[in-house]
A and B are shown apart, each in its own frame.
Chain A
């Protein structure tokens, strides 16, 4: 397992993977406590629409990195979901269901217009650490820096998670904070596509946080536990997946689930 670390692709995948795991399991505590699990799934599938659009555009602009299209596309869908929810009294899963289906449908139409979709699209659907390049590592570091700027929001996000009405009564800008949270989620999901794959990304936002919830009864401790569980799953899972020749995203999720069930059993 140790020799796996010597490969360049493994070092890049680890660097990007640790950053993505840290951010997504951190955001996961809000996703889990706000019962927004479906949003993670919806945004991941929306990202697919963005990737499909990028693949279509690549026939005109070969150097185009799909992330540059997928990120704004997914953010737009995320903000639209938030907007529909605030404008109507529809349940959040309805708003999410409508918009992510629309994004997926658009994606399928885009792919039908390209000639070489299958292999490229598969990379994003199931993830492939071999494709993680230096550019992806640089991008994750940029996202990490942006994300660090949002760290002071933890107290307000947590307050609004506990009770949005109380937070609003205390003049916390809850609506604006929610837009920021959804946009950050969208960015992280796009970043995670190559490592975990669209199909399994949502788990990253749910399983480590759920493990944290089982093991602690303070929100701050839940956040720390979740981040540790998320990072550990990548640090162990990536090299092990190469060793065992298993798709890395799938193995990471299996490890996260194993930790979850251990926590479930360990709890008195």
Chain B
């Protein structure tokens, strides 16, 4: 079986800033990877190299055996951090989801595309806002619409950057159930997700990557989410968080 994601000696630099240094890990198909680390650890940078948005300075990133820049782009979906989204754009939620199917903005929506998009919105729990302009959606609704947009093309790799930001605590639990549902329906689909919530990583992820420019730890949640490693990753600022680890 080919690995879903294979990162080898990945280094990414922005001018004089080294965002990632010598990062290596392999994630098997059907895995659910939680990426954790302090602000500025290079988490978003790692995800952007997976989507092909950023080119490695050194090393390689392979998605299902192919170079990340030359991958089949319908096989990968990227759900961006919500704070980067332009709410001013005139769009219905349904159009946003259809754009994930067409990879361009829809001039009009065909019956077929509408059926597929509506199904994805239903499974993300936002079918009722299909005809609502995105400027009128709440943050949590919009995040789910983006998830539907990510799922509509049935990707084999779903990449999410802090998907839970902007969702309330109960909604958050539901959100992760949606992801689990997706993997249940698509057993070979792989998920890579950034989170700041260690209990989420513990309960939902099959693997955890602890990142602070370099790999601090990679493996199953119980092996990685330990005090020493977390302190390593977060430095002294991790003190407050270590209290939550045992919970």
* Interface size range of chain A in the complex: 20 to 34
The docked-state distance in angstroms from the alpha carbon of A169 to that of B90 is: 21
**Known contacts A155-B104, A159-B105, A172-B104; is A33 also within 8 Å of B88 by CB?**
yes
What total of chain B residues lie within 8 Å of the partner, measured CB to CB? 27
The docked-state distance in angstroms from the alpha carbon of A2 to that of B91 is: 41
Nearest residue, chain A, Cβ from B105:
A158
**Known contacts A162-B99, A163-B84, A218-B95; is A33 also within 8 Å of B89 by CB?**
yes
Mask: chain B, 16-54; 1 = CB below 8 Å from A; 0 = not: 000000000000000000000000000000000001110
Point out residues on B near A: beta carbons under 8 Å. 51-53, 73, 76, 78, 80, 84-86, 88-92, 95-96, 99, 102-108, 133, 135
**Known contacts A33-B89, A169-B53; is A159 also within 8 Å of B103 by CB?**
yes
Known: A166-B99, A169-B73. 10 other contacts (CB 8 A): A155-B106, A158-B104, A162-B86, A162-B99, A163-B80, A168-B53, A169-B53, A218-B92, A219-B89, A219-B91
> What secondary structure prevails in chain B residues at the interface with A?
loop
Max count, chain A CB within 10 A of own CB: residue among B99, B102, B105, B135: B105
A155 near B92 with CB under 8 A, answer no
> What secondary structure prevails in chain A residues at the interface with B?
helix
A218 near B105 with CB under 8 A, answer no
The docked-state distance in angstroms from the alpha carbon of A170 to that of B86 is: 18
Point out residues on A near B: beta carbons under 8 Å. 33, 154-156, 158-159, 161-163, 165-166, 168-172, 213, 216-222
Q: B107 — which chain A residues lie within 8 A by C-beta? A: 154-155, 220
Name the contact of A163 in the complex, choosing from B51, B85, B104, B106 (C-beta under 8 A).
Answer: B85
